[in-house]
Homo-oligomer: A and B are copies of this chain.
């Protein structure tokens, strides 16, 4: 199987399971709103990393599928709430109306709550069914990295930094918590379910951090060096929104330097997982090298 074939197969598995987990019941509108945002063009980055990490440590990917779906639901809830009028007030995401535009603001708030809750429900149900402490530990890992000490804390720091230049520590905190935390969570949870040893978990934690920061620097770089056609959204939006980025805080030279160093370290780190880590390695490289 080529990389692209495997990528498609895994993405299909994730999407099919997400459809099952989001099967509508009464009151249908909340399921529609949750599914609308989950199926609004996401590339399944975190679920693919989670499955890839499970495989990289010698685990059976199918055992980690529910957790892959859970992390996608949790990621999607952060997007729905971030887009709300009281937050970033975005009308469009990936060219489609945001959840509160398509439905209404009250339904969007509840769809976000519903996805966060369903993410945890899915993990707990799976853990309970398996009666295996690995699943519990994987759920705990995801839970702590997406809470106030993780993603939510990052979003708060980001809101607080609006309109003025963030200092270096704050910017790194925001990038670590808003971007790297869920990537670390995906890699670690997948590896835990796959039966990783403590040293492998520690390595993947560091790789996840570096991948997250490299991913975010790339994002900041693309915003000033790409074109609207390639990017699919207006360029220069960070400057327009007076947003602190890796570039405004550290300068473009250091941004490019750090990006290259970190992506090199991610590549090296993943190479140590050998043939079993091939998909994870190749996929991670594509993520970091992306042009849009």
Residues of A within 8 A of B (CB): 25-27, 29-31, 34, 77, 81, 84, 86-87, 100, 104-107, 109-110, 112-114, 116-118, 120-121, 124-125, 127-128, 131, 133, 136-137, 139-140, 143-144, 146-149, 152-153, 155-157, 159-160, 173
Could you tell me if A114 and B84 are in contact, using CB atoms closer than 8 angstroms?
no
Q: Pick from B30, B86, B139: contact of A148, CB below 8 A.
A: B30
- Interchain residue pairs with CB less than 8 A apart (5): A86-B106, A110-B155, A116-B117, A117-B147, A127-B136
Could you tell me if B143 and A120 are in contact, using CB atoms closer than 8 angstroms?
yes
Taking CB as reference atom, which chain B residue is nearest A89?
A: B106
Could you tell me if A157 and B27 are in contact, using CB atoms closer than 8 angstroms?
yes
Shortest Cβ gap from A125 to chain B (Å):
6
Shortest Cβ gap from A89 to chain B (Å):
10
When chains A and B are docked, how far (Å) is the Cα of A81 from the Cα of B86?
13
Could you tell me if A81 and B148 are in contact, using CB atoms closer than 8 angstroms?
no
When chains A and B are docked, how far (Å) is the Cα of A106 from the Cα of B112?
14
Number of copies: 2
Output the residue of A29, A30, A131, A173 with the most chain B CB within 10 A.
A30
Taking CB as reference atom, which chain B residue is nearest A155?
A: B110
Could you tell me if B106 and A173 are in contact, using CB atoms closer than 8 angstroms?
no
Complex interface: chain B residues within 8 A of A105 (CB): 86
Could you tell me if A112 and B113 are in contact, using CB atoms closer than 8 angstroms?
yes
Output the residue of A104, A105, A128 with the most chain B CB within 10 A.
A128
Q: Pick from B77, B107, B143, B148: contact of A31, CB below 8 A.
A: B148
Could you tell me if A30 and B152 are in contact, using CB atoms closer than 8 angstroms?
yes
Say yes or no: A81-B109 contact (C-beta < 8 A), given A118-B148, A133-B131, A144-B121. yes
In the complex, besides A25-B153, A125-B140, A131-B133, 14 extra interface pairs with C-beta distance below 8 angstroms are A27-B157, A30-B153, A81-B109, A84-B106, A86-B100, A86-B105, A86-B109, A87-B109, A109-B109, A110-B152, A117-B152, A124-B140, A124-B143, A127-B140
Taking CB as reference atom, which chain B residue is nearest A81?
A: B109
Q: Pick from B34, B84, B128, B155: contact of A137, CB below 8 A.
A: B128
Could you tell me if B173 and A26 are in contact, using CB atoms closer than 8 angstroms?
yes
When chains A and B are docked, how far (Å) is the Cα of A167 from the Cα of B31?
22
Shortest Cβ gap from A84 to chain B (Å):
7
Shortest Cβ gap from A32 to chain B (Å):
11
Complex interface: chain B residues within 8 A of A109 (CB): 81, 84, 86-87, 109
Shortest Cβ gap from A194 to chain B (Å):
18
Could you tell me if B156 and A110 are in contact, using CB atoms closer than 8 angstroms?
yes
Complex interface: chain B residues within 8 A of A160 (CB): 27, 29
Could you tell me if B143 and A136 are in contact, using CB atoms closer than 8 angstroms?
no
When chains A and B are docked, how far (Å) is the Cα of A87 from the Cα of B139?
31
